[in-house]
Chain A
Amino acid sequence: MIEVQDIYYTYQNGFEALKGVSLKIQKGQFIAVMGQNGAGKTTLVKHFNGLLKPTKGTVLVDGVDTRKVSIATLARKVGFVFQNPDRQLFCETVEDEIAFALKNFGYSDENIKKRVDWALNILDLVQYRKVSPFMLSGGERKRVALASVLAWDPEIIVLDEPTIGQDSQQKERLRQFIVQLNRQEKAVIIVTHDIEFVAEIKPRIVLMAQGKIIAEGEASEILTNAELANQSSLVVPEIAQIFKSLRDLGFDGNITDVYEGGKAILEKFGENR
């Protein structure tokens, strides 16, 4: 779906944010881009919907070079939810906000209504339909921003720091939601620092440092690697720490989530008996 071929990106002030990045993203994949602030994560994902075009190298979305299509065309395929929802919201009501892009895409009124209802429903925003987005809490505004992108049903969804300001119930909802999107063959890419969120839901991890991808792989491999964590200002998740320090008892040191961890301990008790 997305093919990033050895791209470089230099900002106008001369800062080289990407220094040779290659990556392939397939249908239905769930990917977390992680790494230190300034590692190039947001710069990279902004290439997916053509907000940025590489200084060198090529980005293909469904086989099409992002340099050769407009952002408007790409936006239909790639929905982007910013870290700060206030950069994205501007309408007077939540409902108008969600309908805005749909109107721009020229959908029929009936279709717009159907999609707005669907998006309000799925993100638990029905009661705020007629409310100004600016009356809502930060977490709620983030959900409005997400709803307005999902409403036009893009194939690829990029979420920049979706868990900031969300409590654990909302995070759980977000998790279920991403699973659902993946089932519909949509690719979901999150940029995140939330190590404990990632440790539980285990997306494929793309780890960046200083404008390059320094590691790519399964969450259980990448998150449990203390050296990689150190290089990218992450910490090894709590559950993984436990099992790393219990390796001498024969535990698998790559466990990152509570459920698997709990099962492994119960098994050990079973063996003892």
Chain B
Amino acid sequence: MAIVETKGLTYTYPIGTKPAFEDVSIEIQKGEFVILTGPSGCGKTTLCRCFNGLIPHFYNGEIKGEATVAGLRTTEHPIHELAQHVGLVFQDPENQLFSLSVEKDVGFGLENLGTAREEIRRKVDWALKITGTYELKDRAPYELSGGQQQRVAIASVLAMQPEVIVLDEPTSFLDPLGAKTIFEVISNLNKNLGITIILVEHRLDLAARYANRVIIMDKGKIVLNGDPRVVFSSDEAQTIGVGVPKVAMLFQFLKTHGVALSRVPLSSEEAAEAIREALAHD
């Protein structure tokens, strides 16, 4: 059974004149790492808000079709119940962190659920260790660098042990090294813990290699949905104006000029290998 599923999902904001997205049907299986991308205003952030029930419970508006997460219809279950299955990490970690210490922030969700003290401690320590923020636990979130803050924000959703984590452009405000670390942390959650990841991103050069699937939205609709190597080498992806990874653009450039690499690379390592191989066989 799919862990995240939407069927003919259409949503219009209360002040909107036309739907933010329309007729979206997707199925995401447990353990997938999905990148969701598309030009600004394509509806991807809005779609993410459906996964944890922010839409329709918080934003109201008009919703048609259905969204199911971990077997729960999001229209029928309250946000706090959905939050135990889906964690949402926002673009700007400052919007998510507010406590006096990192440890308190990470434990906040569990406290709200009335979790036993010992269990909170155990889960918080676990989440801090996995995200590499354990040594920061007594610090105030505002003292941390953007990259550290974002890792704490991830820890705070991880502590709830959700099956799905949705991240909405989590690296926009980070420097490249900070961004790289975040992608590695997310990838480890996916590989080692089997957590399903839905990552909304514009900058795909560092993220593409971790995904097993890419969904591209444009003007409120899903236009491409599949294997990253297929999606990024398609003509549509190039024309829609998503940040196709540079290594995939290089593949495309070579192909148009008569040099075929053995596969579409998703990282510089893969690209270098493919070029080396092609030259050796030439």
Bound-state CA distance A193–B174 (Å) is: 8
Bound-state CA distance A273–B174 (Å) is: 45
Judged by a CB distance under 8 angstroms, whether A146 is at the interface is no
B40: which A residues are within 8 A, CB to CB?
137-140, 165-167, 170
Count class of interface residues, chain A: 35 or more
Bound-state CA distance A199–B267 (Å) is: 16
B206: which A residues are within 8 A, CB to CB?
235, 238
Contact B250 A233 (CB under 8 A): no
Contact A167 B241 (CB under 8 A): yes
Which residues, 25 to 60 on B, are CB-close (under 8 Å) to A?
38-41
Judged by a CB distance under 8 angstroms, whether B173 is at the interface is yes
Give the Cβ gap from A181 to chain B, nearest Cβ, in Å.
22
Bound-state CA distance A165–B45 (Å) is: 12
Judged by a CB distance under 8 angstroms, whether B231 is at the interface is no
B175: nearest chain-A partner, CB-CB: A233
A72: which B residues are within 8 A, CB to CB?
none
A168: which B residues are within 8 A, CB to CB?
39, 202, 241-244
Contact B246 A258 (CB under 8 A): yes
Bound-state CA distance A29–B250 (Å) is: 28
Contact B246 A239 (CB under 8 A): yes
Partner of A234, one of B175, B203, B246: B175
The contact string, 1 if C-beta is below 8 Å from chain B, for chain A 163-176, is 01111111010000
A36: which B residues are within 8 A, CB to CB?
175, 177
Give the contact stretch, choosing among A42-50, A109-117, A263-271: A263-271
Give the contact stretch, choosing among A8-16, A60-68, A151-159, A242-250: A242-250
Judged by a CB distance under 8 angstroms, whether B235 is at the interface is no
Give the contact stretch, choosing among B71-79, B156-164, B271-279: B271-279
B261: nearest chain-A partner, CB-CB: A265
Contact B254 A265 (CB under 8 A): yes
Asked whether A258 and B250 contact (CB < 8 A) given A195-B176, A235-B180, A269-B259, the answer is yes
Judged by a CB distance under 8 angstroms, whether A272 is at the interface is yes
Judged by a CB distance under 8 angstroms, whether B146 is at the interface is yes
Bound-state CA distance A170–B243 (Å) is: 11
Contact A238 B268 (CB under 8 A): yes
Give the Cβ gap from A198 to chain B, nearest Cβ, in Å.
10
Size of the B side of the interface (Cβ < 8 Å), in residues, is: 41
Judged by a CB distance under 8 angstroms, whether B225 is at the interface is no
Interface of A is mostly: helix
B282: which A residues are within 8 A, CB to CB?
269, 272-273
Which residues, 185 to 201 on A, are CB-close (under 8 Å) to B?
193-196, 199-200
Contact A242 B39 (CB under 8 A): no
Give the Cβ gap from A171 to chain B, nearest Cβ, in Å.
8
A195: which B residues are within 8 A, CB to CB?
176
Give the Cβ gap from A241 to chain B, nearest Cβ, in Å.
4
B202: which A residues are within 8 A, CB to CB?
165-168
Which residues, 235 to 282 on B, are CB-close (under 8 Å) to A?
241-247, 249-250, 253-254, 257, 259, 267-269, 271-272, 275-276, 278-279, 282
Contact B39 A169 (CB under 8 A): yes
Contact B172 A237 (CB under 8 A): no
Partner of B272, one of A37, A165, A166, A246: A246
The contact string, 1 if C-beta is below 8 Å from chain A, for chain B 166-191, is 00000011111110100000000000
Judged by a CB distance under 8 angstroms, whether B23 is at the interface is no
Closest 10 CB pairs of A and B: A169-B241, A241-B268, A262-B253, A233-B177, A233-B175, A167-B39, A139-B40, A235-B176, A245-B272, A168-B243
Write the residues of chain B forming the contact surface with A, with a CB cutoff of 8 angstroms. 38-41, 145-146, 172-178, 180, 202-203, 205-206, 241-247, 249-250, 253-254, 257, 259, 267-269, 271-272, 275-276, 278-279, 282
Inter-chain pairs besides A239-B250, A262-B254, 14 sampled, C-beta below 8 Å: A38-B145, A165-B202, A166-B40, A167-B241, A168-B202, A168-B243, A235-B180, A237-B246, A239-B247, A242-B271, A246-B276, A259-B253, A262-B257, A268-B279
Pairs A–B under 8 Å by Cβ, sample size 12: A36-B175, A167-B242, A172-B241, A195-B176, A233-B177, A235-B180, A241-B268, A241-B269, A245-B269, A246-B275, A249-B279, A258-B246
